[in-house]
Amino acid sequence: MLATAVNEIVSTKLNPNVVPHLHIWEWHIPLYLFLGGIAGGLLVITSVMIVLKRKFGIGPRDEGNGCPCLAVRIGSILSPTLLGIGMLFLFLDLAHPLYVWAFYTTIQPTSPMSAGSWILIAFFPLAILQAMLVNKRQLRDMNIELVNRVIDWTENHMTIVALMNAHIGVGIGIYTGILLSFFSARPLWSSSILGMLFLVSGISAAAALMLLLAPKDEKPIYSMIDANAIWIELMTVGLFVLGGLTGSANSHGAMMHLITGDVNLAGMSYMFWFWGIFIAAGLVVPLLLEFLEAAGVHIRFPNVAPVMVLLGGLVLRFLIVFAGQTYHTFV
Amino acid sequence: MSNKKNYGMVIDTRVCVACSACVYACKQENNVPEGYCRDWVVQETGGEYPKLTMENRSERCQHCDNAPCVTYCPTRASHYAEDGTVQINRSICTGCKACLAACPYDARFVNPEGFADKCSLCQHRIKQGLETACVSICPTGSLNLVDFNNIDQKTKQLLSGKVVYRQKEHAGTEPNLRWISASNKPGA
């Protein structure tokens, strides 16, 4: 009679960071992962748009004087700005923020957080340079000596800068997922596809943001990028879920905890957040709306789809970070 | 005989009475803040009535030879010490909490003063030739400090012929805490 057998563990452990379950990261980290993902996505999209236009003549019309279209110009500014805000949250999450310099006294190849802290620094010079180059007409009007010299020196190499930035953007996007996925002690996070999931989610959120900002004649291309990214994201999240369900008892249990979980997050269960908000409202519905719009159907509120995509991306980060902590440690 | 030490513990659960003296000795010795602990006592009951078994044991950081906290630490604050233990350099710990997430034993906590904290195996006492606070106070001799590179005769006898286990070995951590199972008790 196995049913009556007991296995009960009573422990005197107190530590609130790990009892009754891991409790180390609250809203700062998911928000940072979301902003970092968008920043990476914006850098990828704007860089690819620049290269496509310069090398192949594909994309919206340039504004002239070497400046690309408006959405690329705004996106290039937003990318380092959003990452900067995200890093502020990351900084505020540290238990001892004044020791942040310690990240930059060493390179630890086995620590994704070490790699990440370096890639965050590597991101800024070229991302800011790109933001300057695509907005050089406005900057030249301001006539600041140093800025003029930087632009003079680099303006003929914008394609190379954009090519490098496309890669750095991918690096940032993947890193936000890898940060979690190397923790083998946390079964939900311990999936190597999490890096890809966060990358495509970041790209689709970035495309949605550019779709919101772009003037009317530039919108179709971002709608197309967004729809494609959502497709890939749906496939990737499918693989993430199936990988968990078909995995060991640890992985299976953790995935069930996420997709059927009754743990309450801001008044709703994980299950509802995952299927209702993230999958349905954040991916499937906006995909349908963008598909219909591309097919010529008049959508009354065209901004609804991109806002839903952004919301879905934010919910994904919160869900993964929280559900990964509330599930029990690797056994 | 090896000159290089590799300290760990052998914990004899047959004689542990779960008195928590190890917990409070540690708290006093290491100034562990209120509401936190570096070691703790677990009572595990299993089986089916009337054939129930119970094991009391003291637990703490396992001072792994392949410690995920060290692997993941971005600043080298968590590191392997000369004596084989895992230590934290407070002066470069940013409190990023990656080590807490990395530890399969949930042995760590964030000290309210802003650094990751855990059992140091009383490194400061070992350096003076003393045993750890928990070992020195254990009233039943359940706790034993052992250099696994030079296992002494007493420990060899203690381990001989017993069911001895390590926790979550399949995590690949090579932990340095060994428990003599309560199933070794006569009549268990």
A30-72 pLDDT per residue, tens: 999 999 999 999 999 999 999 998 888 888 877 776 678 889 9
Interchain proximity B94–A100, CB inside 8 Å: yes
Size of interface A-B (CB pairs under 8 A): 157
Predicted confidence (pLDDT) at residue A101 exceeds the cutoff of 70: yes
For the stretch B2-28, pLDDT in tens is 789 999 999 999 999 999 999 999 999
Q: Which of B49, B75, B105 is nearest residue A102 as measured by Cβ atoms?
A: B75
The average pLDDT across A171-199 equals 95
Nearest of A90, A82, A10, A269 to residue B18 by alpha carbon: A10
Q: Give B62→chain A minimum CA distance, Å.
A: 15
Q: Indicate the pLDDT class of residue A2, thresholds 50, 70 and 90.
A: low
Give contacts of B98 with chain A, Cβ < 8 Å: 111, 113
Return d(Cα A239, Cα A232) in angstroms, integer. Answer: 11
Work out the percent of chain A whose per-residue pLDDT is above 70. Answer: 98
Q: Give B159→chain A minimum CA distance, Å.
A: 25
The pTM of the full predicted model, rounded to 2 decimals, is 0.94
Q: Which of A4, A9, A10, A17 to mutate to test the interface with B (most CBs of B within 10 A)?
A: A17
Interchain proximity B43–A10, CB inside 8 Å: yes
Return d(Cα A77, Cα B71) in angstroms, integer. Answer: 36
Q: Give A194→chain B minimum CA distance, Å.
A: 16
CATH of the domain at B129: 3.30.70.20
The average pLDDT across A312-322 equals 97
Helix, strand or coil for residue A269? strand
Q: Give B153→chain A minimum CA distance, Å.
A: 32
Nearest of B133, B144, B169 to residue B22 by alpha carbon: B133
Predicted confidence (pLDDT) at residue B150 exceeds the cutoff of 90: yes
Interchain proximity B94–A99, CB inside 8 Å: yes
Reported as type and span, the H/E element at residue B106 is: none
**CB-CB contact of A282 with A253 (8 Å):** no
**CB-CB contact of A94 with B96 (8 Å):** yes
Give the distance between the most distant pair of CA atoms in chain B: 54
Q: A110 touching B, CB under 8 A?
A: yes
Interchain proximity B97–A24, CB inside 8 Å: yes
Return d(Cα B108, Cα B95) in angstroms, integer. Answer: 12
* Segments forming the whole domain that contains residue B131: 7-63+120-184
Q: Give B14→chain A minimum CA distance, Å.
A: 17
Give contacts of B171 with chain A, Cβ < 8 Å: 184-185, 330
What is the DSSP secondary-structure string of A12-46? ----TTTSSS-----SHHHHHHHHHHHHHHHHHHH
**CB-CB contact of A37 with A78 (8 Å):** no
- Identify which of A55-59, A271-275, B50-54 has the greatest average pLDDT: A271-275
Interchain proximity A4–B108, CB inside 8 Å: no
For the stretch B79-129, pLDDT in tens is 999 999 999 999 999 999 999 999 999 999 999 999 999 999 999 999 999
B103 is a domain residue: no
Cβ atoms within 10 A of the Cβ of A109, count?
8
Reported as type and span, the H/E element at residue A118 is: helix A112-134
For the stretch A10-23, pLDDT in tens is 999 999 999 999 99
Mean residue pLDDT of chain A comes to 93
Q: Give A288→chain B minimum CA distance, Å.
A: 38
- Lowest-confidence range among A150-154, A256-260, B20-24, B61-65? A150-154
Helix, strand or coil for residue B59? strand
Interchain proximity B103–A22, CB inside 8 Å: no
Asked casually if ipTM beats, i.e. exceeds, 0.85, the reply is: yes
Predicted confidence (pLDDT) at residue B154 exceeds the cutoff of 60: yes
Nearest of A314, A282, A302 to residue A211 by alpha carbon: A302
Angle at which helix A70-93 crosses helix A28-51, to 10 degrees, equals: 150
B42 is a domain residue: yes
Q: A106 touching B, CB under 8 A?
A: yes
pLDDT at residue A244 in the model: 97
The average pLDDT across A136-162 equals 90
**CB-CB contact of A124 with B118 (8 Å):** no
Taking only residues 19 to 48 of chain A, the set having a beta carbon closer than 8 angstroms to any beta carbon of chain B reads 19, 22, 24-25
A22-326: what fold?
Formate dehydrogenase/DMSO reductase fold (1.20.1630)
Interchain proximity B109–A15, CB inside 8 Å: yes
What's chain B's length in residues? Answer: 188
Q: Indicate the pLDDT class of residue A1, thresholds 50, 70 and 90.
A: very low
Q: Indicate the pLDDT class of residue A5, thresholds 50, 70 and 90.
A: confident
Q: A7 touching B, CB under 8 A?
A: yes
- The DSSP letter of residue B141 is S
**CB-CB contact of A63 with A73 (8 Å):** yes
Two structure tokens written together for A319: 């869900």
Domain ranges of chain A: 22-326
B78 is a domain residue: no
Give contacts of A19 with chain B, Cβ < 8 Å: 106
Q: Which residue of A has its CA nearest to B169?
A: A331
Question: % helix / strand / coil in chain A, to the nearest 5?
Answer: 75, 5, 25
Q: A17 touching B, CB under 8 A?
A: yes
- The total domain count for chain B is 1
Q: Which of B39, B53, B71, B72 to mutate to test the interface with A (most CBs of A within 10 A)?
A: B72
Work out the percent of chain B whose per-residue pLDDT is above 90. Answer: 93
**CB-CB contact of B90 with B101 (8 Å):** no
Give contacts of B108 with chain A, Cβ < 8 Å: 15, 17-18
B1 is a domain residue: no
pLDDT at residue A96 in the model: 96
Two structure tokens written together for B1: 């005989």
Predicted confidence (pLDDT) at residue A102 exceeds the cutoff of 60: yes
Cβ atoms within 10 A of the Cβ of B81, count?
16
Q: Which of B40, B45, B102 is nearest residue A11 as measured by Cβ atoms?
A: B40
Rounded alpha-carbon distances, angstroms, from residue B29 to A169, B17, B63: 49, 21, 19
B70 is a domain residue: no
Give contacts of B45 with chain A, Cβ < 8 Å: 6-10
pLDDT at residue A67 in the model: 74
